[in-house]
Amino acid sequence: MRFLLTLLLLPLLAHAEPATLVRASELKAQPATDAATLAQLAADAAVDASERSGGWVRVKTQAGAEGWVKMLALRYGGSGAAKRGDSGISQAINVARTGASGTQVTTGVRGLDEADIKTARPNPVELKKLEGYAESKPSSASFADSGKLKAQRVEYPK
Amino acid sequence: MKLLVLFFFIGSAHAQFNLDRLNINKLIDTTKNVVKATSDIAEPEEIQIGKDMASRLLGAAPLARDENLQRYVNRVGRWLASQTERPDLPWQFGVMEAPQVNAFAVPGGTIFVTRGLVERMKSEAELAGVLAHEISHVLRKHHLKAIQKGAQTQLAGDALNQALKNQRADVRDKLVSFGAEMYTRGLDKSDELEADRYGVVIAARAGYDSYGLPAVLQTLQAMNAQDSALALMFKTHPAPGERLTALGDTMQKTLDAYASQPQLAERFFQTVKK
């Protein structure tokens, strides 16, 4: 029965991800600096993070409080052990570790690992294709327009 | 009398040497046949060496067979590049058919991103953030400078100059190999962090939600660092957590000022088939 309940609840929990605060933060009622502060959260506090709004992410604390914290204060994945596993490429391309350096030598399947780049030969056919996909300035500008993207002046940091 | 004139001559030349460091540097450059500063590598040469390097990278992984995706990435990239100080380079963007998570900037305006990375993105703003980071490398000539610095120790005398001008096939090949291998060694950490800061600005200039790049970095940070798909990217870049902290320290104001600009998640998912 409990198993069934868990299954039913799973979709509701799917969007929350375990995350950790890297600095002490205020839990805000709204995604804004001038919003009411609901709680003071300590550095290293574990939370469940859901959607983002601007520079803010909605979180639920372990005490059950819900609110918003600054996005850059969060690191996802919880503790190292809780992180998701390998995406499966290692099995596919036969990774062998050499020596204490942990340098990876891959064999068999092509891709973009160190050895693939070191042994690569020029591919002028693909280069030609690449050039064929290039866009002009005006066509990219109308593409930006259709996405309501507006160019503006922003200075580089000093 | 003649001797006196000669003495006078030597004396004044000596004084000039001591006072004018520029002249001394010039003399050393000439005697060593050292190639001129990067700012002096002409744009046509930068573009040509970039094409040779791009061809080499495409030999490691070909382009994804998805014309819609390729054109989409080029539209986003070209729009971003148009907002920079090098708007008229022959910018071109390509999605490489590779499961690894990575992106590459090649001198002269060629940018690659792997399918493995594109498939982990959640919006056009995230794609723009990554492309803007790579565009910044080209803008700041990070790779060009690194190639030049490294190649000087590998190619003696005038060989580097000849290689750049493509006058000798054997040294040209060496130079291109050296350039391609740079993508397995990585740039200086300061170059990567600078490209993060500039990337945030360029994405904001182009009208995108400025948090696109940080969002991708958080995705990468959440992945298992031992994941083999990340091996090369993690070897050649500072850890995502460190990059996020650096962005928070330096760019919080800019990030927040442009955080409510479009993310265009729908347009992204219409094109990127999972």
Structure-token pair, residue B199: 């990337």
A125 has a pLDDT exceeding 70: yes
Residue A96 has what pLDDT? 39
pLDDT digits (tens, 9 = 90+) for A21-66: 999 999 999 999 999 999 999 999 999 999 999 899 999 999 999 9
| Chain A positions in Cβ-Cβ contact with residue B229 (cut-off 8 Å) | 86-87, 89
> Does the pLDDT value for residue A146 go beyond 50?
yes
What angle do helix axes B142-154 and B124-139 make, rounded to 10 degrees?
Answer: 40
Q: Domain spans of chain A?
A: 15-78, 86-132
Q: Dihedral sign, CA of B213, B215, B220, B221? A: positive
Going A119 to A123 to A126 to A127, the CA torsion angle's sign is positive
What percent helix, strand, coil does chain A show, rounded to 5?
30, 30, 40
Question: What burial letters (b/e) apply to A4-15, b meaning 16+ CB within 10 Å?
Answer: eeeeeeeeeeee
Percent of chain B past pLDDT 90, that is, above it, reads 69
Contact between residue B136 and residue B195 where contact means Cβ atoms under 8 Å apart: yes
Domain tally, chain B: 1
Which residues 79-138 of chain A have a CB within 8 Å of chain B? 80, 83-87, 89-90, 92-93, 95, 104, 110-114, 116-124, 126-127, 129-131, 133-137
Per-residue confidence (pLDDT) for residue B173, from 0 to 100:
86
Mean pLDDT for the stretch of residues B152-175? 80
Within a 13 Å sphere around the CA of B80, how many CA atoms are in the beta-carbon half? 36
- Identify the residue among A57, A90, A127 best suited for mutation to test binding to B, counting B beta carbons within 10 A and taking the highest: A127
A22–B92 C-beta distance less than 8 A: no
Minimal Cβ distance to B54: which of A77, A110, A127: A127
- Are A134 and B90 in contact (CB < 8 Å)? yes
For residue B28, give the H/E element and its range. Answer: helix B21-32
Nearest to A112 by CA among B61, B111, B226: B61
Q: How far apart are CA B91 and CA B82, in angstroms?
A: 9
In chain A, positions 18-77, which contact chain B (CB-CB < 8 Å)?
A: 22, 52, 54-55, 71-77
* Residue B41: pLDDT band with limits 50, 70, 90: confident
Is residue B204 included in any domain, yes or no?
yes
Helix (H) or strand (E) holding A17: strand A17-21
> Is the CB of A90 less than 8 angstroms away from the CB of B255?
no
Closest CA to B90 of B105, B104, B78, B100: B78
* CB crowding A136-155: b at 16 or more within 10 Å, else e: eeeebbebbeebebeeeebe
Assigned domain for B248 exists = yes
Of A131, A127, A111, A129, nearest in space to A119 by CA: A111
Q: Residue B214 belongs to what domain range?
A: 42-271
Residue A155 Cα distances to A106, A150, B209, angstroms: 43, 16, 16
- Judging contacts by C-beta atoms under 8 Å, the chain B residues touching residue A86 are 224, 226-229
Domain contains B6: no
Structure confidence at residue B81 (pLDDT): 98
In a domain, B88, yes or no: yes
pLDDT in tens, B127-151: 999 999 999 999 999 999 998 888 8
Query: Mutation test of the interface with chain A: which of B56, B67, B75, B172, choosing the one with the most A Cβ atoms within 10 A?
Result: B75
How far CA B233 is from CA of A102, A111, B109, B229, in Å, comes to 15, 13, 20, 8
Shortest distance, CA B2 to any CA of chain A (angstroms): 58
CATH of A15-78, one of 2.30.30.40, 3.30.230.10, 3.40.50.150, 3.40.50.300: 2.30.30.40
Q: Does residue B26 sit within a domain? A: no
Per-residue pLDDT of B88-108, as tens digits, reads 999 999 999 999 999 999 999
- Has residue A82 got a pLDDT over 50? no
Residue B11 lies in a domain: no
Report phi then psi at B227, rounded to 5: -55, 125
- Round the average pLDDT of chain B to a whole number and report it: 86
Contacts of B58 in chain A (CB under 8 A): 122-123, 126-127, 130
A51: nearest CA in chain B? B215
Q: What percent of chain A has pLDDT over 70?
A: 70
pLDDT(B78) > 60:
yes
pLDDT for the residue A62: 94
Tell whether B185 is covered by a domain: yes
Q: What is the pLDDT of residue A14?
A: 45
* A104 band by pLDDT with thresholds 50, 70 and 90: very low
The answer to whether residue B174 is domain-embedded is: yes
